[in-house]
Every structure is written in C-alpha cells, then in structure tokens.
Amino acid sequence: MGGGAATTDDNAAGRSPSPRDAADPTVGACEEGEVCAVEWTGSAKALRRREVLTRRSALTADDVRVNARRLAERAAALPELAGARTVAAYVSVGREPGTRPLLEELRERGVRVLLPVLLPDDDLDWAAYAGPDALARAGRGLQEPTGTRLGRDAVTGCDAVLLPGLAVDDDGIRLGRGGGSYDRVLARLAAAGADPALVVLLYDGEVPAEVPVEPHDRPVTAAVTPSAVHRFAAAGDGG
C-alpha cells in the first residue's frame, strides 16, 4: 500500500516494538540477508491488542481526563471536523482515549453528531447525540444515545467518521478491538460510495505502529493523539 504518515506534532510519537522479535512465535524465520514479510495470524493480532490494552491499563483517571481535553483541542481543529455538518462519533469508555469533551465541542458548534447503538448481531445502528444527559448504560459497559434510531445506513450521510482503535500503522491501517462492528461500517460506506474523512483517536505511542493488515482493511484519513496529528497519503490514493 502506497503512501506514509505525515505528522504534525509537539512530541515525537513512540513506535511500538517490531513484531520481528524472537519472543513472538508467529514470526517466521528467514535466511540471513533476505527481506522477510511478517505473516500475521489471528494470535498476532490478539498479541498486539493485549500489548496496547496493557499499556492503557496503567493510565489513571486523571491521565484519561487530561488526554481527553488535549484530544478534543486537536481533533476539533481538523479541517475535516471544522467544516463538517454531520459527524459519526462514539462515547469512550474506561481507559479509551476520551471523546466526551470533543462530543460537547462539536454539539456546541451546531454539528449534528451521530452515536452508535450496538445491535445483537454486533452491527451498528445510529442515533443523534443530545448531550450527556441523553445517554444510557447499555450492554458491555457502553453508553448509548436514547433518541430515535436512524438506521444502519445513517452513517453514509456523514462528513466525517470518528473510529475507535488501538493503533494505526504508517499507511493508515487501523487495529480495532476485534468485534468487527466498524469493519461493517467501513464496508457500508464503501458500498454506498460514501467518502467521509475517517479519523482515529489514539494515545501518543500508538501511531505509527506495526499493525496486521488484511485485504478488506481501508486506510484512515488521519490519526489524532494528544500531541500530534498524523495524516496518511494512502487514504487519498485509493489504497
């Protein structure tokens, strides 16, 4: 996949350890001097997810709050969000990069914000965000909007889509949590010919990272961390 990351940053983002590590049994051996492709497997994806989640588990509640404010400032300044009329987003939970300050910033600007409602088949419906008092606890510890459901295809009318994730590589490929909900969202966007900006919110050190790549993966437009905005050329050249 062509392209690479262009970064605007205050502090250089750290890089995750390479998967070419003797401790990683999923990496195949190669002859000296040979350029080896890493053969990612399901267990390698699980390993990468565990690494990120373990790092996040060390964050305090104050860490999450401070980073959420910084993320909101950077993300709100993105041209793709500054000019958006409708944005699909999500409510962060636990030690995920916080989205609540950004949701409020967008709503106060008059942006229509759609939030996901998890369906029994793990696909996503959508409803408009009407403020923190219009959220209700749902299954799996999620917070979901209480308003009228708009249907699975509502996301196709958005100018930008905020995606949860654990890491993004140099080409803009996102590592998700593994449930497949947002893979369906991205497939739905592609099928509808929709081309919203795709933005992932991460912590510093989670981009650029080594990410297992599969044929269906679609590069994102940008990844935002508390200290940087990373843009990806691959998202604009058809992959």
pLDDT of residue 223: 98
- CA dist 168 and 224 (Å) reads 10
pLDDT of residue 216: 79
| pLDDT top residue among 41 and 139 | 139
pLDDT digits (tens, 9 = 90+) for 47-62: 889 999 999 999 999 9
- DSSP code, position 17: P
* Bond from prior residue into 208 cis (ω within 30 degrees of 0): yes
Using an 8 Å Cβ cutoff, are 184 and 123 in contact? yes
pLDDT digits (tens, 9 = 90+) for 168-196: 999 999 999 888 999 999 999 999 999 99
In 3D space, the residue among 91, 93, 100 whose CA is nearest the CA of residue 71 turns out to be 100
pLDDT of residue 217: 84
Structure tokens that stand for 88 in this block: 């699909």
Average pLDDT on 230-238 reads 70
Run of H or E including 223: strand 222-225
Expressed in angstroms, the distance from the first to the final Cα of the chain is 6
Write down the H helix ranges in the chain. 42-57, 61-76, 79-82, 100-109, 181-191
CA torsion angle 126 221 230 63 (round to 10): 10
pLDDT of residue 236: 53
pLDDT of residue 179: 86
**Residues found in the chain:** 239
Reported confidence tier of residue 70, pLDDT bands at 50, 70, 90: very high
Can you tell me whether residue 156 is helix, strand or coil?
helix
Chain mean pLDDT for the chain: 84
pLDDT of residue 5: 57
Looking at the chain, the whole-number percentage of residues with pLDDT higher than 70 is 80
pLDDT digits (tens, 9 = 90+) for 93-109: 999 999 999 999 999 99
200 has which bridge partners?
Answer: 163, 223
Using an 8 Å Cβ cutoff, are 94 and 164 in contact? no
In 3D space, the residue among 119, 124, 146, 129 whose CA is nearest the CA of residue 86 turns out to be 129
Reported confidence tier of residue 234, pLDDT bands at 50, 70, 90: low
pLDDT of residue 9: 45
pLDDT of residue 215: 79
Average pLDDT on 21-34 reads 28
